[in-house]
Amino acid sequence: MSNPALESPKPSPEGLPKVHYLNVDYGIRSWLFTTDHKRIALLYLASITLFFVLGGLFAVLIRLELLTPQGDLLSSESYNKVFTAHGVIMVFFFLIPSIPAVLGNFLVPLMIGAKDLAFPRINLLSWYIYTVGGILTLGALLAGGVDTGWTFYAPYSTVYSNSHVMLVAVGVFINGFSSILTGFNFLVTIHKMRAPGMTWFRMPLFIWSHYATSIIMILGTPVVAIAIALVGIERLFHIGIFDPNIGGDPILFQHLFWFYSHPAVYIMILPSMGVISEVICAGARKKVFGYSFVAFSSMAIALIGFLVWGHHMFVSGQSMYAGMVFSVLSFLVAIPSAVKVFNWTATLYKGSVAYTAPMIFAMGFIGLFTIGGLTGMFLATLGVDVHLHDTYFIVAHFHYIMVGGAIMGYLAGIHFWWPKISGRLYPEGWARFAALIIFAGFNLTFFPQFILGYLGMPRRYHFYPEEFQVLNVMSTAGASILAVGYAIPLVYLIWSVRYGPAAGPNPWKAKGLEWQTTSPPPTFNFDKTPLVTEDAYEYYSAAPAESAAGLTPEKQVG
Amino acid sequence: MHSGHAAGGGRPPALAHHFDDLEQQKEASTLGMWIFLVTEVMFFGGMFTGYAVYRALYHEAFMAASDHLDLKLGGINTVVLILSSFTMAMAVHAAQTSKRKAIINWLVLTIILGSVFLGIKYVEYGDKFHHHLVPGPHFEFAGAHAQHAQLFFSFYFAMTGFHALHMVIGIGLLLWIIALAARGRFSAEYYNPVENMGLYWHFVDIIWIFLFPLLYLVGHHK
Amino acid sequence: MSGLELIALLQNQSPTIPGPGLPIFPAQASNFAREVDWLYYYLTAVTAFFSVLIFSTVFYFAVKYRRRSADDLPLPIHGSLVLEIFWSVVPLVIVMSFFVWGARIYYRMLVMPADATPITVVAKQWMWKVQHPGGQREINELHVPVGRKFRLKMTSEDVIHSFYVPAFRLKKDVLPGRETELWFQPTQVGEYRLFCAEYCGTKHAGMGGRVVVMEPADYEAWLSGAPQGETLEQAGARLYRQFNCNTCHDPGSSARGPELAGKFGKPVKLASGQTVTMDDAYLHESILQPNAKVVAGYEPVMPTYQGLVSEEQVLQLIAYVKSLTREERAQVQK
């Protein structure tokens, strides 16, 4: 007697559609010159996976080095380059693009019933820009690396560092335009290309969160572009913008840098939250609790997120009153996130919860994001941040949000939409197993780092006093488990492209326009432009539970 | 490609495959240009912020440095750019009224005026170079404020340099639009690219209208 | 063992630098440590409460409302305004309590007490140079007596560093070209780790040291035995003559520069019309960028000493200028 909650989606007896976006054309040119948002999403998927593996390798080096208190694996200079590479790659070339460039590019047109994004060629251009930026940055790594930390603080980065700051600065600068173009494309698409009947408040929450993310991308990225450009100019011409010896102010760099880099963390988490909304509703087969509150929370996070950057600078010599203002605002930005967590939890109430891999990832996200977000409160608290700033507490906090949060959300989304993207089902058993391994490995890696931080172990330390060793060993043990956990989906997802059973249009029996077309979809997404007559997540209705193709107008209940 | 487009008669050649009608395409394209301009505001805004901070800190030095800028040339450039915005607007109008030759003529005038601007900038930059006012190892500044004057000039070159870069890109885009206009692409039905070009050009003009008083008129209001 | 005893055991685990093992909390060695720890426990308790609440609720709902059949179709629940308000307002109130408590501690940390003994700290890649008011110098170590208040006046010779003593729960970035301050009152005898907490280059991890808190008697003994140099003021007086500051700033000379004696802490009218106070920052700036704030009635002819004096020497000059009164001026001139 099988447990319905543990059932996997059934293979579709009809098999794959005859012609779809993957087989409509073959050859490398059909990929490198495509304007189909779905193919571009896959180009991004390949690139960011490559960068994730590279960034992960650097993480492995870090954790191996930190097994012992002495710096015995790498030289100090190499270690400093390794953690910088880890940060630069993970932030700029993995996390920021990840969900928007892969899932967003693939799904935004599908979810709103459009044939493509508003500017398909600009979409392709954004991938090329990303690739050029990535190649330059990789080149800098091969040429010997950068040792400034991903934060490039002046005057170390502008005057004292002997590493390839310029190359990486140029690579990151160029990459920023990829982000801007993606955001700009989404904004115009969402404004102008929704299918008939899809009002703003009928849009899926995934779209709302990408809309909010896009606003941050276009407003914030240009400012970090300037900050990086000024670092480059300073390094070349020794002008004195940030060099106090010739009249400059190093704190100005910090303001310009964090003005973007704080909102950037919301670029990294908001799309993930959008995924969670979609997965939870499908996995519990229930309308989201408090739709408009979740939608407005995304916008609130984007807006308030621009006002809190100074919380990275509480001990920098910034004025006390500035510190107090930034502290209050930092607490305020937590509230909409809390609202979302409560709403997702309430969505499960009286739902019909299936234990699919996406759901396991999503429920893991809710718990880990809660911890990560609450530990942010410690850091917004002025009196405590003085002690915790620049320690491993910070490292633990942001990894809980970025890895426990954003990456779990990314994996939830990849699994949830894998049938739509590839037309095939992945092996559910292996996926659930991987999710649990990742959850366990993640917590073992990063929870000890909270304790290390309060004990006082600073960040970016190549070697450390011996009393910190036991916790570091625990952390490295967790990292090895986490690495295994990440490797498993790589294997079965690639396997499934060839050997997975056909998924059919709607294996999850979910609501949403993307499920109203074939898996994989045709190049222009829909055979007929959809007509939207109901709100998002209308699972309950008088009509039968699922409608595989085409939309039948359904009456709303309640 | 095939199936699933708007039913009915032929699609206008200017209509891209993923849009339902020309109006949607136009609205998307215009909104896109406005959003792009917002990003440009943030970009230049970062530089303006840095400039404002240092100007407040080193007011006297900035005044002394600003005195070395040629007010006359700057003023001429301002007039030239405003005129070029006028010719650009006339080009958009010509496109809206389907006057093919007029579009090209007004765009050519715009390019000429833009080139005059760049030419004058070249003269100004050359003069700075000649007087050792380019920041870097060869910078020389007589008087007490040398250190902070160099800061002024770095912002001067960064801000006017990026602005000039936008002008050069703008002229390149104008040439492209002229090529399209020559092929008869624009008419009252479809003139969106010309209009967006106009938006871009006006924006670059507005940036200069902020730059000019901020950089050239620092000391002169007393 | 009661809960309080357990807490006491976990706190104050090691009044000296701990050996290998599994410490959870650092020692409490400053006037701030205890309160910061209590605020930390409060934050931890709230975090634990909400984490457990969310985890267990999600788990409970996932089990209780698991899918029973393939055709399960739950009723839609659109939302509840009351709940939304409740779970917006309650967290808001809680986080505001964090804010208020944290801001109060922060305020006390940042406002320097008048009765704190100043100690100079100069950071450079990759060491800490400490100087006591009596001239005693230390490298990578700071000896202080328990119970007395100290105020660190810190600057960097190169990049940004950060002075961090976990046992004190205190940290402050140390900047080039500017002075930042940190104050504390040690409350427990022992040795505590000192770390650099702002990435500063290759040997950032090695830029550590220790803070040694001693009984007052032991401290006095240490002071007399410590490597003694000139006091800050003596060094400053020497530099004042060495760099010919006296040729312009002494009264009765060609007096091309304003007199400095007795002016510290007083308002100064500038040529631009502004009025500023002659404080540490003003003196620091005037030595390195003399034309930034020229005094009214004087020509901007003072040369810059940027590159000619080190940050340490600037601090010594500032200490000397501060110490000047009219009578002493006359003395030194001899």
- Residue B9 resides in a domain: no
Of C109, C125, C307, the CB nearest to A383: C109
Contacts of A120 in chain B (CB under 8 A): 16, 18
What distance in Å separates the CA atoms of residue B201 and residue B215, rounded to the nearest whole number? Answer: 21
How far apart are the CA of B99 and the nearest CA of chain A, in angstroms? 28
Helix (H, G, I), strand (E, B) or coil at A240: coil
Judged by a CB distance cut-off of 8 A, whether residue B160 touches chain A is no
pLDDT at A543: 45
Of C95, C110, C166, the CB nearest to A320: C110
- Segment C61-78 shows an average pLDDT of 88
Can you read off the two tokens belonging to residue A554? 């359904």
Judged by a CB distance cut-off of 8 A, whether residue B20 touches chain A is yes
pLDDT at B217: 86
The per-residue pLDDT for range C73-109, each reduced to its tens digit, is 888 888 999 999 999 999 999 999 999 999 999 999 9
Closest-CA residue to B80 (of B214, B203, B208, B213): B208
Contacts of C301 in chain B (CB under 8 A): 144
Q: In chain A, whose CA is at the least distance from the CA of B145? A: A247
Can you read off the two tokens belonging to residue A417? 């939409």
- Residue B95 resides in a domain: yes
Percent of chain C with pLDDT over 70: 88
Give A395's strand partners. none
Helix (H, G, I), strand (E, B) or coil at B140: coil
Of B27, B36, B154, the CB nearest to A241: B154
- Segment C157-169 shows an average pLDDT of 95
What distance in Å separates the CA atoms of residue C192 and residue C18, rounded to the nearest whole number? Answer: 9
Neighbouring C-beta atoms of residue A221, cutoff 10 Å: 27
CB contact under 8 A, C292 and B148: yes
How far apart are the CA of A424 and the nearest CA of chain C, in angstroms? 21
Q: In chain C, whose CA is at the least distance from the CA of A81? A: C202
pLDDT tens, chain A, 558 aa long: 468 888 888 898 888 998 999 999 899 999 999 999 999 999 999 999 999 999 999 999 999 999 999 989 999 999 999 999 999 999 999 999 999 999 999 999 999 999 999 999 999 999 999 999 999 999 998 899 999 999 999 899 998 888 899 999 999 999 999 999 999 999 999 999 999 999 999 999 999 999 999 999 999 999 999 899 888 888 887 777 888 877 788 999 999 999 999 999 999 999 999 999 999 999 999 999 999 999 999 999 999 999 999 999 999 999 999 999 999 999 999 999 999 999 999 999 999 999 999 999 999 999 999 999 999 999 999 999 999 999 999 999 999 999 999 999 999 999 999 999 999 999 999 999 999 999 999 999 999 999 999 999 999 999 999 889 999 999 999 999 999 999 999 999 999 999 999 999 999 999 999 999 999 999 999 988 899 998 999 887 644 434 333 333 333 332
Peptide bond into A520 cis (omega under 30): yes
Can you read off the two tokens belonging to residue C24? 């959870």
- Residue B68 resides in a domain: yes
In one letter, which amino acid is C174? V
* List of residues 6+ apart from B39 with CB closer than 8 A: A180, A184, A218, A219, A221, A222
Q: In chain C, whose CA is at the least distance from the CA of A461? A: C205
End-to-end Cα, chain A, rounded Å: 35
Closest-CA residue to C40 (of C48, C30, C29): C48
Contacts of B54 in chain C (CB under 8 A): none
Can you read off the two tokens belonging to residue C267? 């308002």
CB contact under 8 A, B58 and A226: no
Of C272, C291, C306, the CB nearest to B144: C291
> Which of C12, C39, C198 has the highest number of chain A CBs within 10 A, making it the mutation to test binding with A?
C198
What distance in Å separates the CA atoms of residue B155 and residue A322, rounded to the nearest whole number? Answer: 26
What distance in Å separates the CA atoms of residue A245 and residue C136, rounded to the nearest whole number? Answer: 28
- Segment C13-31 shows an average pLDDT of 70
Neighbour-count burial of C263, counting CB atoms closer than 10 A to its CB (0-12 exposed, 13-18 middle, 19+ buried): middle
pLDDT at C11: 53
ipTM, two decimals, is 0.91
With a cut of 70, say whether residue C253 has pLDDT above it. Answer: no
How far apart are the CA of A27 and the nearest CA of chain C, in angstroms? 42
- Residue B162 resides in a domain: yes
Can you read off the two tokens belonging to residue C107? 């305020």
**Contact present, A38 and A21 (Cβ < 8 Å):** yes
Cα distances (Å, whole numbers) of residue A363 to A348, B70, B174, C312? 10, 65, 53, 56
Closest-CA residue to A419 (of A504, A318, A308, A342): A504
Beta strand pairing status for C190-196 and C161-165? antiparallel
Contacts of A375 in chain C (CB under 8 A): 47
Of C272, C290, C306, the CB nearest to B59: C272
Element (H, E) at B218: none
Judged by a CB distance cut-off of 8 A, whether residue C272 touches chain B is yes
pLDDT at A5: 87
Contacts of C46 in chain A (CB under 8 A): 374, 377
> Which of B60, B141, B150, B151 has the highest number of chain C CBs within 10 A, making it the mutation to test binding with C?
B60
At which residue do the structure tokens 């491993």 appear? Answer: A392
How far apart are the CA of B143 and the nearest CA of chain C, in angstroms? 9
Chains that contact A by 3+ CB pairs under 8 Å? B, C
Contacts of A4 in chain C (CB under 8 A): 66-70, 72
Query: For every residue of chain C, which 3-state class applies, written as one string?
Result: CCHHHHHHHHCCCCCCCCCCCCCCCCCCCECCHHHHHHHHHHHHHHHHHHHHHHHHHHHHHHHHCECCCCCCCCCCCCCCHHHHHHHHHHHHHHHHHHHHHHHHHHHHHHCCCCCCEEEEEEEECCEEEEECCCCEEEECEEEEECCCCEEEEEEECCCCEEEEEHHHCEEEEECECCCEEEEECECCCEEEEEEECCCCCCCHHHCCEEEEEECHHHHHHHHHHCCECCCHHHHHHHHHHHCCHHHHHCCCCCCCCCCCCCCCCCEEEECCCCEEECCHHHHHHHHHCCCCCCECCCCCCCCCCECCECHHHHHHHHHHHHHCCHHHHHHHHC
**Contact present, A205 and A274 (Cβ < 8 Å):** yes
CB pairs under 8 A between A and B: 119
Chains that contact B by 3+ CB pairs under 8 Å? A, C
pLDDT at A360: 95
In one letter, which amino acid is B63? M
In one letter, which amino acid is B193? P
Helix (H, G, I), strand (E, B) or coil at A391: strand
Least confident of B162-176, C159-173, C301-315: C301-315
- Which stretches of A231-359 are assigned E, i.e. beta strand? none
CB contact under 8 A, C65 and A284: yes
How far apart are the CA of C296 and the nearest CA of chain B, in angstroms? 14
What distance in Å separates the CA atoms of residue A274 and residue A466, rounded to the nearest whole number? Answer: 43
Helix B192-211, helix B22-57: angle, nearest 10: 10
Q: In chain A, whose CA is at the least distance from the CA of C70? A: A4
CB contact under 8 A, B3 and A227: no
Of A114, A523, A527, the CB nearest to B1: A523
In one letter, which amino acid is A392? Y
How far apart are the CA of B58 and the nearest CA of chain C, in angstroms? 6
> Reading across the β-sheet that carries C180-184, which strands appear in turn?
C137-139, C127-131, C117-124, C150-156, C180-184
CA dihedral A93, A98, A102, A108 (to 10 degrees): -130
pLDDT at A544: 41
Percent of chain C with pLDDT over 90: 50
**Contact present, C268 and C275 (Cβ < 8 Å):** yes
What distance in Å separates the CA atoms of residue B110 and residue C154, rounded to the nearest whole number? Answer: 57
pLDDT at B4: 39
Residue numbers of the domain that contains B70: 22-216
Contacts of C166 in chain A (CB under 8 A): 387, 455-456
In one letter, which amino acid is C193? R
How far apart are the CA of A123 and the nearest CA of chain B, in angstroms? 13
Contacts of B61 in chain C (CB under 8 A): 291-292
CB contact under 8 A, C272 and B60: yes
Helix A408-422, helix A428-455: angle, nearest 10: 160
Contacts of A147 in chain C (CB under 8 A): 201-202
pLDDT at C10: 54
What distance in Å separates the CA atoms of residue A206 and residue A234, rounded to the nearest whole number? Answer: 41
Judged by a CB distance cut-off of 8 A, whether residue C80 touches chain B is no
pLDDT top residue among C254 and A452: A452
CB pairs under 8 A between A and C: 316
Q: What's the topology of domain C232-333?
A: Cytochrome Bc1 Complex; Chain D, domain 2 (1.10.760)
- Which stretches of A284-442 are assigned E, i.e. beta strand? none
CB contact under 8 A, A290 and C84: yes
Can you read off the two tokens belonging to residue A342? 């409560």
In the DSSP assignment, the letter for residue B176 is H
Planar angle of CA B7, B8, B13, nearest 5 degrees? 95
The correct answer on CATH 1.10.10.10 for the domain covering A29-516 is no
Provide the residue count of chain C.
334
Give C164's strand partners. C171, C195
**Contact present, B171 and B111 (Cβ < 8 Å):** yes
Closest-CA residue to A228 (of A175, A295, A163, A160): A175
**Contact present, C215 and C302 (Cβ < 8 Å):** no
What distance in Å separates the CA atoms of residue A208 and residue A296, rounded to the nearest whole number? Answer: 8
CB contact under 8 A, B151 and A240: yes
pLDDT at A275: 97
pLDDT at C99: 97
Cα distances (Å, whole numbers) of residue A64 to A391, C103, C226, C248, C324? 19, 39, 42, 61, 57
**Exposure string for B48-72, b = 16+ CB within 10 A, e = fewer:** bbbbebbbeebbbbbbbbbebbeee
**Contact present, A4 and C70 (Cβ < 8 Å):** yes
Query: Domain residues of chain A, as ranges?
Result: 29-516
CB contact under 8 A, A351 and C61: yes
How far apart are the CA of C219 and the nearest CA of chain A, in angstroms? 26
Quote the distance between the C-alpha of residue C69 and its chain's center: 63
> Which of A66, A387, A461 has the highest number of chain C CBs within 10 A, making it the mutation to test binding with C?
A387
> Which of A62, A72, A77, A331 has the highest number of chain C CBs within 10 A, making it the mutation to test binding with C?
A331
pLDDT at A384: 96
